[in-house]
Each structure stands twice: as structure tokens, then as C-alpha cells.
Amino acid sequence: MNWEIAVTLAITIFLAFAGYIATYVNNQKNAQRKAQIDRVNEQLKEFYGPLHSLGLASESAWVSFQYTHKPAGHRLSGEFWAPSEPPSVEEGEAWRLWMKTVFMPLNLRMVEIVTTRADLMEETVLPNCLGQLTAHVYSYAAVLKAWEQGDYSRHTAVSNFPGPELLSYSQEMYKKIKEKQATLLGGNGDPNK
């Protein structure tokens, strides 16, 4: 009889221990999954989402500006202040107004996201377009300062705005992270379904 009690007790202890281990492993997996979901949500909320929406807003504003202020034959060429064909006085005034009130606020917000939330990037190295964005915005600060002092001899930054590359990057990464989010949440990975 003692032998049967010992076996029953051993089985009970084994099952309890196995249950504890299974619960521990499951809790660890759930915690890791929750941490992954939290990170992806933060990436979308604090980095890729705002970067993407600001990039779209910047592109839309640029198209609107060109449509309104650039002669029809020269629209959407990508360059407004071309040395070979400089804008008129009125176009220059419009350029400065849009740069100060529309483009630079959008650009500064994008740079703020890049410089304060780079920890949320998927990449381990800063993508070239984000480096170009930062260089463009900071080099434009000197131009804007000159305008404040009445000096309109310069109208462009030392480095160009990486418009198409930035928009492509933000769209690609936003989609990638949204798919990752959908997968982690139990979806099929396609954020459009």
C-alpha cells in the first residue's frame, strides 16, 4: 500500500511541477509577445506613423505649391529655384512664405522624430534619406536666418530635400511595421484586410 501512495504522490508532484513549468513557459512567451506588440505599436505611434504622414503632407504641399506658383511648363520638375531659370520676384516671395510657414515646420517635425526617436527604427544604421533630411533642414536654418535679416541672396539649402527617397522609405517601413503588427495581433499580416 505504501508503494501505491508513493507512486500516486510522485505522479501528483510531477504533474504539478510540469504544470508549473508549462505555465512559466507560456507566461514567458506571452510576455515576449506583449513586449513585441508594445514595441511595434510604439514604432507606429512615435516614429513610422508620424514620419509617413508628415512625408505625405510634405509631398502634397509641394505639389500644391508648384501647381499654384510655378509656370505650367515647369511644374513638378522637382526644382523650383533653378539657377538657369530663377523665379520672378512674386514667386520668390511665395517661396519664402511657403518655406517659412509650411515646409520648414513639416521638415522640423520630421527631423525631431528622427533625432529623438531613432531608437524605434528597425535598422541599426540611420538610412541615408533620414541623414539627408536632417542635413537639409539644418542647412536651411541658415538661409531662413538670413531672410530674417533681410538677406535674400540665398534661397536654397546646401543639401537637397530627399523627397522621393524619404517618401518611398516611409511608405515601405510603415507598411512593413503594420504587417508585423497584424501578424502579432493574430491577423494574416496584410494591414489592408
Domain spans, the chain: 2-184
AA identity, residue 130: L
Three-state secondary structure call for residue 85: strand
Q: Note the pLDDT tens digit of each residue in 41-58.
A: 999 999 999 999 999 999
Give the confidence band of 91 by pLDDT, cuts at 50, 70, 90: confident
- Percentage of residues in the chain having pLDDT higher than 90: 57
Q: Note the pLDDT tens digit of each residue in 93-143.
A: 999 999 999 999 999 999 999 999 999 999 999 999 999 999 999 999 999
Supply the pTM of this predicted model. Answer: 0.81
pLDDT value, residue 166 = 96
Cell numbers found for residue 166 = 524619404
Q: Sign of dihedral through CA atoms 143, 147, 150, 152?
A: positive
